[in-house]
Structure 1
């Protein structure tokens, strides 16, 4: 790549919202500073609309370690090895100044290939407990960024190269964060979502819980709920039976705005979800995914609960009766939800993407540039 071209940074993220959303936020921050961004990911990324702000998207083979059976281990090792070789060849062609990973096994091949080529590397750990892929990469990369403080405090070598940046949130989240908490004179709005691994339990528990609420609470409700295609009809039917106004869809592209409009959010506790709830400042009932090997969602929910911005309910206790009791209490205590909203916002980090961009520029040796200057430079480069 000629020296006159803008510097290139590759972000590596698995194709789920939890990994792609913070990667998208960093990409926007880097582009505003005149840095070109490419995305290295897996095939799942195309489910998110192909709107990632990258010059190019590179699909790199990867595999998740799900079984210790010899045949499965061999297949996983072969796929990861193929991905490392492909990423190694790719980086030889496009010569990135840095490669930034956002966790999950799809980041292993690009990050390992970058370390083999001597390219500066950063991994961002979004959760309250480091995931397996990031634990493997942490000793090998140039710098570590964390969504919560103290994640690598157990190891002085890792702590020395760790920076607490917070979890990057998308521009839409920053925009939604300016929305005031809904007033008491408005309907009581509940937003329910669970991501790819949590929508079913929400469909099974939340509608019957809301049916159990006293009529005086139900009459004020407006519900927005994410549900799988196969759950749409039973969820809608349950709300219709209870005379509860509800909008039920498989996916909401404007989720940050929906969060901002809600009095209460009921959801899983993925790192991006917790970061967005805190940045926007909305109270929540969080149900951590119970079978995660690292129990990362339990730790994430604990951070928000400790701050006073959320209630954490284990899935074993997430029953219609228990949930109805909590919602009825919150709906009839006028000061509790606004107080929780303020507590959540107190720990939100709106400029995490800028902090992470600063770190990437530092370890890559790219000269910092203001967004305005970068825009002017870009216009000059195009006209040249």
Structure 2
């Protein structure tokens, strides 16, 4: 019986950030699009954002006790290592109960025990790596995986060449649907969208709010601002915009990102892989300020791919001040031709069929294991 002729049970594991979670959601959505009877279970962290987001998409989830290893103190490392046998046994119990046909790991420390348990039970495993520099969990698990799906060219040096499949980074269904929609041309004001990432980014929030609040009344007249701040900075940023008398929509976190993206003419953002994939699919030009403490400086390397392709400009946080950022924003916001060219270049770098490629890879492995 072929994989598509049977109800598929897919276990996805990973999380800890939206960058890990949303590609997993997109993959699950594609499985259910192709095979509506597909049963999906996420195994991840106890983070509020993970459970809130998964609940919104209607997916069942379970969590195991697990702690990260990278960049931790000696005591934290001892704690993380000590809990690994418990994590592994919890993962075994969940897998035996759910009986998946395949396990898909999307990175993050929780992936390790789940993938190890899956392989000990003889299940196929596919990993997906979002970033230009593979994360620690995926690097270590590459030897166990049957296939490793990569998002960006040049990111495969850590894995066996015969396991690598370049798929791109999948984006959620509603954002793909928006990408396929012909939006009417906007007249009047341009919309500046600021994304600090799923957990906010204090430095980006400060830089952008200072930059925009320093614009003249004439400059502000043609700009609307939408700013995702993260919960910690929401009140402060909102107060700054109100004091300046600006037209600004501020929220800690936007659940309906497709509606927010639809408004945007220019985006100021960190350089997380998932955000970049969404911007590319939608053809949104961007000013990128990579998170300087990202593991292996992967955000700057993520961003460079889009800079090289002409869809974005990128600044190191340490080299940037509010005045410079303000000049960069105005230079693009009031240059329709440049915005349009960057948007087209961004779209040319996209992988709109990434989820389909990952699902095809998974079905191939399911078929091999059933022979």
Scaled by the length of structure 1, the TM-score of the pair is: 0.88
Structure 1 residues 132-175: Cα deviation after superposition (integer angstroms, max 9, x where no partner)? 111000111111001112311x36x6121110111011011112
Q: Which runs of 5+ in 1 are unaligned?
A: 368-384
How far did 1:358 drift?
0.4
Q: What's 1:307 paired with?
A: 309
Partner residue of 1:209? Answer: 211
**Equivalent residue number for residue 47 of structure 1:** 52
Alignment partners' CA distance in 1, 2:96 and 2:335: 60
Q: Is residue 41–residue 60 contact of structure 1 (8 Å, CA) maintained in 2? A: yes
CA distance in structure 2 between the partners assigned to 1:322 and 1:149 by the alignment: 31
Scaled by the length of structure 2, the TM-score of the pair is 0.91
RMSD over equivalenced CA pairs, Å: 2.2
| 1:83-133 Cα deviation digits (max 9, x unpaired) | 111112322232211100001101111111111111100100011111111
Structure 1 pair 91–236 and aligned structure 2 pair: CA distance change class (3 A): closer
CA distance in 1, matches of 2:311, 2:101: 39
Contact 2:200 / 2:252 at 8 angstroms: preserved in 1?
no
Deviates more, 1:226-235 or 1:28-37: 226-235
5 Å matches for 1:159-198?
159-180=161-182, 183=185, 185-198=187-200
Residue 16 of structure 1, CA deviation: 2.4
Count of residues in correspondence between the two structures = 362
C-alpha distance in 2 between matches for 1:67 and 1:320: 30
Tell me which residue corresponds to 1:127: 131
**Aligned twin of 1:10:** 11
Q: 1:360 to 1:64 in 2, by over 3 A?
A: same
Q: Deviations over 1:196-243 (max 9, x none)?
A: 444322321111101222433211111011124443333223223333
1:36 aligns with 2:39: yes
Partner Cα distance (1:219, 1:70) in 2: 53
Cα distance in 1 between the residues matched to 2:234 and 2:276: 25
For residue 351 of structure 1, report the CA deviation from its aligned partner: 1.3
Report the counterpart of residue 98 of structure 1 in structure 2.
Answer: 102
Q: Distance in 2 between matches of 1:329 and 1:10?
A: 46
Aligned: 1:116 with 2:124: no
Name the structure 2 match of 1:141: 145
1:38, distance to aligned residue in structure 2 (A): 1.1
Show structure 2 runs of 5+ residues with no match: none
CA contact 1:182–1:263 (8 Å) conserved in 2: no
Q: Of 346, 349, 352, which residue of structure 2 is paired with 1:350?
A: 352
Partner SS state of residue 62, structure 1: coil
Deviation at 1:256, TM superposition (A): 2.5
**1:280 CA displacement:** 0.7
Higher deviation after alignment, 239-248 or 320-329: 239-248
- Given that 1:199 and 1:226 are in contact with CA atoms closer than 8 Å, whether structure 2 keeps it comes out as no
SS at match of 1:295: helix
Structure-2 change in CA distance of 1:67 and 1:227 (3 Å): closer
> Does the CA-based 8 Å contact 1:80-1:109 persist in structure 2?
yes
- 1:64 equivalenced with 2:65 (yes/no): no
Secondary structure of the corresponding residue to residue 233 of structure 1: helix
Q: Is the 8 A contact 2:12 2:42 kept in 1?
A: yes
Deviation at 1:184, TM superposition (A): 6.1
Separation in 2, partners of 1:283, 1:205: 19
Distance in 2 between residues matched to 1:255 and 1:93, nearest whole Å = 34
